[in-house]
Structure 1
Amino acid sequence: MATFPLIDMEKLDGEERAATMGVIKDACESWGFFEVLNHGISNELMDTVERLTKEHYKKCMELKFKEMVESKELEAVQTEINDLDWESTFFLRHLPVSNISEVPDLDDEYRKVMKEFALQLEKLAELLLDLLCENLGLEKGYLKKAFYGTKGPTFGTKVSNYPPCPRPELIKGLRAHTDAGGIILLFQDDKVSGLQLLKDGEWVDVPPMRHSIVINIGDQLEVITNGKYKSVMHRVIAQPDGNRMSLASFYNPGSDAVIYPAPALVEKEAEDKQIYPKFVFEDYMKLYAGLKFQAKEPRFEAMKAVESTVNLGPIATV
């Protein structure tokens, strides 16, 4: 098995730029995932985010999670559970409008730090999108523009903790899925592992690494690149000990953004073939909500069916 792609972003500024861009290109085409170091977010900020996230879980969420486990009698399950994830989560929205000040139970320091962290992640997401543009031969800013809609991109963070699980062989931390959105930036625990991706039919561990950010491709980038870059199934394995922290930040299209393959990439195909549909992102998300833990291909097919009705034009009357 090839080693998981690791990118030192400082090398983009020197003579190793071309080689580093090559690693990013291969990661997007062959893995759907890569991990970045020296990404411009300070170690101090990341350490503070980690400390406050873990403190917040202990103080505000751990008891609720234990009560949920007891109420569903999950400690004693004997058969595999396929409709539940062993995770404790809450969501923060950053764009187009932040909701950090309204989320209950967060202390002031945590709110402030998460706002700063979100700003840094937003910058990193936009930088990465431009690197993808460069590798794809698209003009700089194309992907950001494709995501824009009328109000700009949507951007938010799912803050998760995966507590120790008594029956990890029967309950997943998070069931296998592809991500619906654009580009995903994950700050994960560097001591407790659990994230895996599907590559060539095998589950591969995404290595925990201190101060790294794990990047993965969402369904929308698969559509815009006309399948050149693919979103990849991934899951979280629950662990018998250790509490795994995970902050997944989703830089997604705006709800009214119209998503379709970049014409420049369709033209490069030998048969000039557009494989993917054209749709409004919000419509895709409505479909995804009920089908998250299923294969993505039927979702794309369903969007194609919608597209054909949209493009029929006026019905002729006799």
Structure 2
Amino acid sequence: MEAFPVIDMEKLNGEERAATMEMIKDACENWGFFELVNHGMSHELMDTVERLTKEHYKKCLEQRFKEMVESKGLEAVQSEINDLDWESTFFLRHLPVSNISEIPDLQDDYRKAMKEFALKLEELAEQLLDLLCENLGLEKGYMKKAFYGSQGPTFGTKVSSYPPCPRPELIKGLRAHTDAGGIILLFQDDKVSGLQLLKDGEWIDVPPLKHSIVINIGDQLEVITNGKYQSVMHRVIAQSDGNRMSLASFYNPGSDAVIYPAPALVEKEGEQNQVYPKFVFEDYMKLYAGLKFQAKEPRFEAMKTIKTPVNLGSIATV
């Protein structure tokens, strides 16, 4: 098996830029996932976020998770469970309006660190979208405009803990799915593994690397690139020891953004090759909510039957 793609972003600034861009292109076309090192985010900030996330789980969420496990009798399960995930989660919204100040139980230093972390990730997401545009031959800023809608992109973080599981062979940490949104930036535990992606019919481990950010392609990027880049099925395997931390940040289109294949890419391949419909992102999310753990193709098909606004015009510029 070829090695999981790890991209050193510092090499974008020197003579290895062309080779590094080629690695990103290959990862987007053949993996749907890659891992970034030297991405510009301070290790000190990442260490602070990790420490505070783990402290918050211990103090505020661990007992609640144990009670949920007990109430559902999960410690004694005998057969595979297919409708439940072995995870403890909460959500932070950053854009268009942050809700960090409204989340109960968060300490002030945790709120402050997460706000700073989110700002850095937002910058990184936009930088990556421009790198993808460059590789695709799209004008700089095209992806950001495509995501913009009337109020800018939506951006939020799912903070997850995957506690030790007594029967990891019977319960997934998180069942297999593709991500509905745009580009996903994951800060994952570097000691406890568990994330896997499906490639060529095999489940491949996403290696836990200290201070790395894992990137994956969401369904909306698949549509905008007209299938050149694909969202990929992935899952989290529950572990019998260790508590895995996962902060998945989703840089997504605005709720009213109209998503469709980039005309420049369709023209390159010929009109008849536009295989994805035009739809409003919020409509897709409503459909996805009930079908997350099923194949993505029927979702795209279903969107062909949903009427979109008539006066779409060109993509609004920022």
Q: Compute the TM-score of the two structures, normalised by the length of structure 2.
A: 0.96
The residue identity in structure 2 corresponding to 1:96 is: P
The residue identity in structure 2 corresponding to 1:289 is: A
SS at match of 1:211: coil
Structure 1 residue aligned with 2:315: none
Structure 1 residue aligned with 2:226: 226
Structure 2 residue aligned with 1:267: 267
The residue identity in structure 2 corresponding to 1:27 is: A
SS at match of 1:80: coil
Structure 2 residue aligned with 1:315: none
Question: Is residue 288 of structure 2 the alignment partner of residue 288 of structure 1?
Answer: yes
Contact in 1 for aligned 2:87/2:161 (Cα 8 Å): yes
Q: CA deviation at 1:222?
A: 0.1
Structure 2 residue aligned with 1:109: 109
Q: Compute the TM-score of the two structures, normalised by the length of structure 1.
A: 0.96
SS at match of 1:306: coil
Structure 1 residue aligned with 2:213: 213
Q: CA deviation at 1:298?
A: 0.3
SS at match of 1:268: helix
Q: CA deviation at 1:226?
A: 0.2
SS at match of 2:179: coil
The residue identity in structure 2 corresponding to 1:162 is: Y
Question: Is residue 151 of structure 2 the alignment partner of residue 151 of structure 1?
Answer: yes
Distance 2:237 2:65 in 1: 17
The residue identity in structure 1 corresponding to 2:92 is: L
Change (3 A) 1:308 1:139: closer
User: Per-residue displacement from partner, 1:236-267 (whole Å, max 9, x unpaired)?
Assistant: 00000000000000000000000000000001
SS at match of 2:100: coil
Question: Is residue 258 of structure 2 the alignment partner of residue 258 of structure 1?
Answer: yes
The residue identity in structure 2 corresponding to 1:134 is: E
Percent identity at matched positions?
87
Contact in 2 for aligned 1:197/1:205 (Cα 8 Å): yes
Distance 2:149 2:11 in 1: 33
Distance 1:270 1:280 in 2: 24
Backbone CA RMSD of aligned residues:
1.2
The residue identity in structure 1 corresponding to 2:164 is: P
The residue identity in structure 2 corresponding to 1:218 is: G
Distance 2:291 2:135 in 1: 31
Structure 2 residue aligned with 1:300: 300
Count how many residue pairs are aligned between Structure 1 and Structure 2.
Answer: 311
Structure 2 residue aligned with 1:184: 184
Contact in 1 for aligned 2:279/2:308 (Cα 8 Å): no
Q: CA deviation at 1:44?
A: 0.2
Distance 2:308 2:250 in 1: 29
Name structure 1 gaps, 5 residues minimum.
Answer: 312-318
Q: CA deviation at 1:310?
A: 7.3
Distance 1:276 1:155 in 2: 24
User: Per-residue displacement from partner, 1:6-55 (whole Å, max 9, x unpaired)?
Assistant: 00000000000000000000000000000000001000000000000000
Contact in 2 for aligned 1:277/1:307 (Cα 8 Å): no
Q: CA deviation at 1:273?
A: 1.9
